[in-house]
A and B are shown apart, each in its own frame.
Chain A
Amino acid sequence: MEDEVEAKFLGGSPSVQQGAEQEHASGLSVALKLLSAGPVVILIVLLVILTLSVPNFFTPRNISNILAQIAVIAVVALGQHLVILTRGIDLSVGANLALATVLGALMFRVTDNAFIVMGTMLLAGAAVGAVNGLVYVYGRLPHPFIITLATLSIARGLALELSIGHTTMRGMPATITAIGGGTSYGVPNSFFVVLAVAALVFVIARYVVWGRWIYAVGGQPDAARRMGIPVNQVLVSTYMMSGLCCGVGAIVLSGRAEAGSPLYGNLLELDTIAAVIIGGASFLGGRGNLGHALVGAVMIGVIRNALNLLNVNLYFQLIAIGVIIVLAVESDVLRNHLESRMRVKQAGALG
């Protein structure tokens, strides 16, 4: 069907000069495709190299380890990805997650009902997200950087205050520990949580009107307003969704550790933003899909795991992640440059 449509709109037999221009344009198109497939290709190459060179890397146990380790980053990165699609950023994710685990642990002292404890964590995450969105939109802030930086501080402070000096608040309902730390058929249950959240985000982005609006707001906010899209509501709900993902991340992490802690989620904002950008989504908004966030999260998990197996120290891991972010952003810049050239070529080829 797509080929038919394409053939229909290409139409006509090009002259020799037009043929050369079209050839050049298709060369650019191949380069663009390579660039967008880049993160997946790099991940596959990385997996092959690590399998061949690092002992104990490609073993069922280690793969299961990696899946469990990346679960929190992946879930929170899926929410971060939606925010970045709207040209925004959510710096509060780590602190939001920590606050949610603390509130979950406090609720566990009141009741051992797993659903109430999970509901508390989800609600706490969504509430912080709502504050981010509402203050950003209705406070007419120039950029979400400011408010999410503020909630980073507020949520972390609140988590420390509520935990009354305890760095670890032990105890979580059995259902939560099973979700965060259990396995089914050798696969960590947290991995299934990632799949469920990914499926939800996939459906929203691909099939739901709200998802289309998120892309439109990220693509051209002014045009979105003129086209009648409720931009403010889209932004607030997107930050709430990111907060909700932090709540899910809190369930997974507190389940795995069987505890809540105000110190959880340290530098999670860096990891999740890195995952989205490394995966190939555009930092300029409007471009990217959940695959990018997931590939980025897996890449970070794999690199960390391999460096651990190779006994490389933690400081070097931070440097490596930073360098990869710079490379990923540069590839985004290169992609935009190639697209402008492609536009010029298209104009020449089609007249």
Chain B
Amino acid sequence: MSKPVLEVRGAHKRFGAVHALKGVGFVACRGEVLALLGDNGAGKSTLIKCVSGVHGLDEGDILIEGEKVAIRTPAAARGAGIETVYQDLALFDNLTPAENFYCGRELSFPRWLPRGLRLLASRKMNSEAAAVIDRLKVKLPRFDAQVALMSGGQRQAIAVARAAVFARKVVILDEPTAALGLRESRKVLNLIAQLRDEGNAVILITHNMEHVVELADRAVVLRQGHKVGEIEKPNRSNQQDLVAMIVGAE
């Protein structure tokens, strides 16, 4: 295992009386896919939301390349090099793929003006977005059409590609294939492999054990807010162990 790029230590999160995370910790390394597994309510999404700045941790630390960082907002997470592909994709249906890629992080000028009043560098954003789409071999019906006109798989691919534009260290994907058919899932899995090959640490939340066996280098299992196990190189022979950990039948 290479040096961790992301490390979470002793993470606790409470929502009123509900103790959603109870001292969870894990590491993610460059060039590997870490599967985060668990039944519904295990704390996977809460953990990911804490890492991506949607919620703040009540206790515990997040370290990026060994340095403690305070992640209290999504912008702070992205500033630290953590990109997230949310389960609902967080796409803007009324914008084009290129506009979606840069929404909230528009390339603009002149720099001396407040950000909101600057002019959009549309040509540069379009050409850079087209280059990423090309690099990831995403097939879209029209590059200048609104995302609303695209299929589930294409939208998923756009959301992953958006993360790829800015991914510098960590890419988190929350159930990226949950709503997709076989063919579209395959394309998204290929994209995930490509993000890994480009040197990112990829954290994959999924319920699909086939995908875990195919892609994951390690799997961390959560149950009722606790980390209950970790398996190196998940494969068909230890798949049953993983399932047992998930459901609590060890």
| Chain A contact residue count (CB 8 A cutoff) | 43
Q: How far is the CA of A351 from the CA of B153 in the complex (A)?
A: 9
Q: Are A9 and B103 in contact (CB under 8 A)?
A: no
| B108 in contact (CB, < 8 A) | yes
B108 — which chain A residues lie within 8 A by C-beta?
Answer: 209
Q: Are B139 and A11 in contact (CB under 8 A)?
A: yes
Of B122, B140, B143, B148, the residue contacting A339 (CB under 8 A) is B148
Q: Are A9 and B143 in contact (CB under 8 A)?
A: yes
| B154 in contact (CB, < 8 A) | yes
Q: Are A218 and B106 in contact (CB under 8 A)?
A: no
A234 — which chain B residues lie within 8 A by C-beta?
Answer: 116
Would A230 and B116 be within 8 Å (CB), given that A9-B140, A222-B90, A344-B151 are in contact? yes
| B149 in contact (CB, < 8 A) | yes
Would A220 and B149 be within 8 Å (CB), given that A209-B106, A209-B108, A209-B116 are in contact? no
Closest Cβ–Cβ distance, residue A43 to chain B (whole Å): 24
Of B99, B120, B130, the residue contacting A207 (CB under 8 A) is B120
Of B91, B116, B120, B133, the residue contacting A233 (CB under 8 A) is B116
| B183 in contact (CB, < 8 A) | yes
Q: Are B92 and A209 in contact (CB under 8 A)?
A: no
Q: What are the interface flags for A302-344 relative to B under an 8 Å C-beta threshold, 1 for contact and 0 otherwise?
A: 0000000000000000000000000000000000000100111
- Near A by CB (< 8 A), chain B positions 134-167 give 134, 139-144, 148-154
- Give the secondary structure class of A's interface: helix
Q: Are A343 and B144 in contact (CB under 8 A)?
A: no
Q: Are B118 and A9 in contact (CB under 8 A)?
A: no
Closest Cβ–Cβ distance, residue B73 to chain A (whole Å): 8
A349 — which chain B residues lie within 8 A by C-beta?
Answer: 141
| A215 in contact (CB, < 8 A) | yes
A207 — which chain B residues lie within 8 A by C-beta?
Answer: 119-120, 122
Of B78, B154, B183, the residue contacting A346 (CB under 8 A) is B154
Query: Taking CB as reference atom, which chain A residue is nearest B152?
Result: A347
Q: What are the interface flags for B78-120 relative to A under an 8 Å C-beta threshold, 1 for contact and 0 otherwise?
A: 1000000010111111110001000111101000000111111
Q: How far is the CA of A306 from the CA of B48 in the complex (A)?
A: 61
B184 — which chain A residues lie within 8 A by C-beta?
Answer: 347
Closest Cβ–Cβ distance, residue A105 to chain B (whole Å): 33
Q: Are B143 and A286 in contact (CB under 8 A)?
A: no
Query: Taking CB as reference atom, which chain A residue is nearest B74?
Result: A226
A286 — which chain B residues lie within 8 A by C-beta?
Answer: 92-94
Of B103, B115, B143, B152, the residue contacting A216 (CB under 8 A) is B103
Q: Are B154 and A209 in contact (CB under 8 A)?
A: no
A12 — which chain B residues lie within 8 A by C-beta?
Answer: 139
Q: Are B116 and A215 in contact (CB under 8 A)?
A: no
| A287 in contact (CB, < 8 A) | yes
| Chain B contact residue count (CB 8 A cutoff) | 45
Q: How far is the CA of A233 from the CA of B115 in the complex (A)?
A: 12
Q: Are B120 and A215 in contact (CB under 8 A)?
A: no
B105 — which chain A residues lie within 8 A by C-beta?
Answer: 227-228
| B213 in contact (CB, < 8 A) | no
Most buried by A among B116, B117, B139: B116
| B54 in contact (CB, < 8 A) | yes
A213 — which chain B residues lie within 8 A by C-beta?
Answer: 104, 116
A228 — which chain B residues lie within 8 A by C-beta?
Answer: 73-75, 78, 104-105
B117 — which chain A residues lie within 8 A by C-beta?
Answer: 208-210
Q: Are B150 and A209 in contact (CB under 8 A)?
A: no
Q: How far is the CA of A212 from the CA of B121 in the complex (A)?
A: 12
| A350 in contact (CB, < 8 A) | yes
Would A226 and B130 be within 8 Å (CB), given that A212-B120, A339-B149 are in contact? no
A224 — which chain B residues lie within 8 A by C-beta?
Answer: 92, 103-104
Q: Are B150 and A343 in contact (CB under 8 A)?
A: yes
Give 6 pairs: A residue, B residue, CB < 8 Å, sorted on A.
Answer: A9-B140, A218-B94, A343-B151, A346-B149, A350-B151, A350-B154
Interface residues in chain B, defined as those with a beta carbon under 8 Å from any beta carbon in chain A: 54, 73-75, 78, 86, 88-95, 99, 103-106, 108, 115-120, 122, 130, 133-134, 139-144, 148-154, 183-184
Q: For the A-B complex with A8-B134, A210-B116, A344-B151 known, give 19 more contacts whose Cβ atoms are closer than 8 Å.
A: A5-B144, A9-B140, A207-B119, A209-B116, A212-B106, A212-B120, A213-B116, A215-B95, A216-B95, A219-B93, A222-B90, A224-B92, A225-B74, A227-B74, A228-B78, A286-B94, A343-B149, A346-B150, A350-B139
Please name the 5 residue pairs, one residue from A and one from B, whose CB atoms are nearest each other, closest first. Answer: A347-B151, A227-B104, A223-B90, A286-B94, A228-B75
